[in-house]
Amino acid sequence: MKTLRPILALAAVGGLQAAAFAAPTSAVPDGRFLERPATDPAVAAQWKDVLVDPEDTYAGSPPVAFVAEKTDAKGRRIVATVLLSGTSCNVNRCNMRILVNGRIKLDTMVCSNVTTLAMAPDGSWISACGERFAVPRR
């Protein structure tokens, strides 16, 4: 499996600051948050009700999502996705969704500092800026 190369810069995303990473060369279902363009088919499907036009730019930057995925011990596919878009974020918070087996189980707002995003090793929680969100069991 190829590794990701961190880009040593911060990219303005919809007026927000976000750590930028090179696009993955293959799926990495190990719980790490990776940047994906809003035009990625999976991201576009996860945010179809929010993203009117995934190619639209706001404040000079196209929307992106930070996505982590993991399969837990029970075989459930857990996906956490945070959308950074000038039209869907407020001053300090952006939309986050937790999907389990493709179904949205939690739709909330989290801090926009994507460098703090983490998924528990067992997939039981997601954290952002020290705030934890339990992955629903059902």
Sheet of 125-128: strand order equals 118-119, 125-128, 131-134
Q: In this predicted structure, what is the pLDDT of residue 12?
A: 34
pLDDT, one tens digit for every residue, the chain (138 residues): 333 333 222 233 333 333 333 333 334 567 889 999 988 999 999 998 888 776 776 667 788 999 999 999 999 999 999 999 877 888 789 999 999 999 999 999 999 899 999 999 999 999 999 999 999 887
Q: What are the strands, taking DSSP E only, across 14-57?
A: 16-21, 34-37
Q: How many CB atoms lie within 10 A of CB 19?
A: 19
Where are the chain's structural domains? 9-132
Q: In this predicted structure, what is the pLDDT of residue 62?
A: 86
This prediction has a pTM of: 0.76
